[in-house]
Amino acid sequence: MRKIHIDLELLVQSFTFDDEGLGKEYLNTNNGDIINIPDDIEKVVLGELSEDNLPDWKKDLLEDAYIIGADIENRYVLIPKLETTFSNEDIKYFILKNISDSNLSATLFKTLEDDNPIKSFKYALSNYPQILDAWYDYEDSKRIEQANEWLKTLGLKAI
């Protein structure tokens, strides 16, 4: 496994990057950089749009786009759009590990019976900001775990 310096928080954001008209994100597997290529830049590289149609600031992005487009060594990997969904099991684990108040635990376990348990769970935590922050930290840790798993599929380890 090759070690690489990478901003895991930025990689996590890239997994959820809404690509509708905004472009694609690539990981440079040599140096860990994450590069965004807007859709119109990609169209220029593919010959579907003239470079003259781009604002000057976007023309600066063309060099990266051409390098990515010509990459035959798989140095640049398209970062997939991944959804991190939290299951009832994740919520149960969190409650058991973090909630000592039996009444609050019972209330939180009850949210698992709702049609949208994650929404109900977060709503129930809205009166407990410290616990809600702990939940967000837990979500973040699960997303970082997912990023590390994806890197592992590429033979990479974040440092």
Q: In the chain, where are the structural domains located?
A: 17-78, 88-158
Residue 58's pLDDT band, with cuts at 50, 70 and 90, is confident
SS3 content of the chain, % helix, strand, coil (to 5): 55, 10, 35
Lowest mean pLDDT among 42-56, 125-139, 145-159: 42-56
What distance in Å separates the CA atoms of residue 57 and residue 125, rounded to the nearest whole number?
Answer: 44
Write the pLDDT tens digit of every residue in 82-122. Answer: 776 788 899 999 999 999 999 999 999 999 999 999 899 99
CA 4 to chain centre: 18
Residue 20's pLDDT band, with cuts at 50, 70 and 90, is low
| Residue 8 one-letter amino acid | L
Mean pLDDT score of the chain: 90
The yes-or-no verdict on residue 156 having pLDDT over 90 is yes
Contacts for 99 with CB less than 8 Å, ≥ 6 apart: 105, 108, 131
Rounded to two decimals, the pTM is 0.77
Higher pLDDT, 2 or 54: 2
